[in-house]
Structure 1
C-alpha cells in the first residue's frame, strides 16, 4: 500500500477522495474478485493503472497475471511494483489492449470502459472458455442493456461485498452478434 500511496502523489492512480479508504475501496474491492472467479488460469488485467485488481489477484492467487496498460508512466510503476514484490508471474505490457496478442482464461478490467466497448476491445484475447470477471457500479443494468444489442454471452452477476450499489459480472461464451 505504501508503494501505491507514494506513487499516487506523482500521478493520478486513484481518486484522491478514496485515498483514506485504500483498504476497502481498492484492496478488498480487488480481492473480492477471487471469490467468484475460476480458481486457476491466466489473467489479463486491462487498463491496469494502479495495479488494481491485477497485482492483488497475483499476490493472493499465485496465478499468472498480465497487466495491460497504455500509459508508459503507469506501466513503469507496475514494473517497479512487480520487482519490489518479486512477482515473477506478473507481466506488464505497455500498449493499447487492441494491439495485444495472446489468449487468457480470465479477463478483468476496473473502470476502463462500458461493457459493450470493453467486450469489443478484449474479445480477441479470449478463447472458448474465457471468463470475464468485471466489477461494475450503479450503471450495470444500463451497460448490460447496451451490450446485449451487440453481444451474445452467458451472464452471472454477484453482489459486491464492498459496495451495495455494485456488482461483479461474470461473462462467458462471449460472441459478437452478426450484423444484419
Structure 2
C-alpha cells in the first residue's frame, strides 16, 4: 500500500487545513506532470512520502523561517511546502520556464502570492538580497550552495538546510568554507542525510578549512 495523505498527517503532525492545501498541490502536480516533466515519473504515485514528507521534515530544522531562499526549486520541493507550512516569505528560484509557471500557478491557487516569489532565472542572476535561510534539494554540491546562497546572496549566514545523500553532504564544503553543522537521518530515505549548517563563512586565504563540529 502506498503512503497516503492520512499517513502523512499522522507522521508530520500538520493540521488538516495544511494537509488539504498540500493535497491540492499534489493534484496540480499530477495534472501538470501529464503535460511536462516536473518530478521523476516513478515518484509521483508516492508523492506524500517522496515529496511532501521529505520536504516537511526540514521545517523542524529551520531556525528562522522569516525569509527563505530555495535554490533549484523544480516542482517546489522543499520551498513551496515550507511556504504552505507557514514560512514568512519564500523565494523560489528555477531557470526552467515551465517549472516557474507551475510554481506560480500553485502559489496563486493556494493564495500564497503575497508570501511566495517565483524567479525564473539562474541563481547567479539574482540581485543581492538578505535571507535568513537557504534550502535546496540535491541540486548542487554543498560548497556551490554556500557560494550561491551566502557569498552571492548576502545572507545573514545563520542557517542553511540543504539535503545531502548517503551522509556525505557536509564534506563537499569543507575546503572552501567554515561552518557549524549537524547531520540528520532522512525520514523518507534510509540512505539520505539532511545537512543543517549555520555560521557559514568563507575560509580566509591563510585560514584552515574544516567543519566546526556537530551539535
Pairwise CA distance, 1:145: 2.5
Kept in 2: contact 1:107–1:130 (CA 8 A)? no
Kept in 1: contact 2:70–2:90 (CA 8 A)? yes
Q: Which residue of 1 aligns with 2:186?
A: 160
Pairwise CA distance, 1:62: 4.1
In structure 2, how many angstroms separate the alpha carbons of the residues matched to 1:155 and 1:62?
Answer: 22
Kept in 1: contact 2:165–2:193 (CA 8 A)? yes
1:15 partnered with 2:40 = yes
Gaps of 5+ in 1: none
Task: Give the alignment partner of residue 130 of structure 2, picking from 81, 84, 103.
Answer: 103
Structure 1 residues 60 and 111, CA, compared in 2 at 3 Å: closer, same or farther?
A: same
Q: Which residue of 1 aligns with 2:195?
A: 169
Q: Which residue of 2 aligns with 1:122?
A: 149
Number of aligned residues: 178
TM-score w.r.t. the length of structure 2 is: 0.77
Kept in 2: contact 1:48–1:68 (CA 8 A)? yes
Q: Which residue of 1 aligns with 2:30?
A: 5
Kept in 1: contact 2:95–2:122 (CA 8 A)? yes
Structure 1 residues 62 and 118, CA, compared in 2 at 3 Å: closer, same or farther?
A: closer
- What's the RMSD between the two structures over aligned residues? 1.6
In structure 2, how many angstroms separate the alpha carbons of the residues matched to 1:130 and 1:100?
Answer: 20
Structure 1 residues 146 and 51, CA, compared in 2 at 3 Å: closer, same or farther?
A: closer
Kept in 2: contact 1:31–1:57 (CA 8 A)? yes
> What is the correspondence of 1:64-143 to structure 2 with a 5 Å cutoff?
64-87=89-112, 88-101=114-127, 102-123=129-150, 124-138=152-166, 140-141=167-168, 143=169
Structure 1 residues 169 and 144, CA, compared in 2 at 3 Å: closer, same or farther?
A: closer
Kept in 2: contact 1:104–1:130 (CA 8 A)? no
Structure 1 residues 153 and 170, CA, compared in 2 at 3 Å: closer, same or farther?
A: same
In structure 1, how many angstroms separate the alpha carbons of the residues matched to 2:115 and 2:172?
Answer: 35
Runs of 4+ in 1 over 6 A off after TM superposition: none
Kept in 2: contact 1:70–1:96 (CA 8 A)? yes
Kept in 2: contact 1:154–1:172 (CA 8 A)? yes
Over alpha carbons, which structure has the higher Rg? 2
SS at match of 2:189: coil
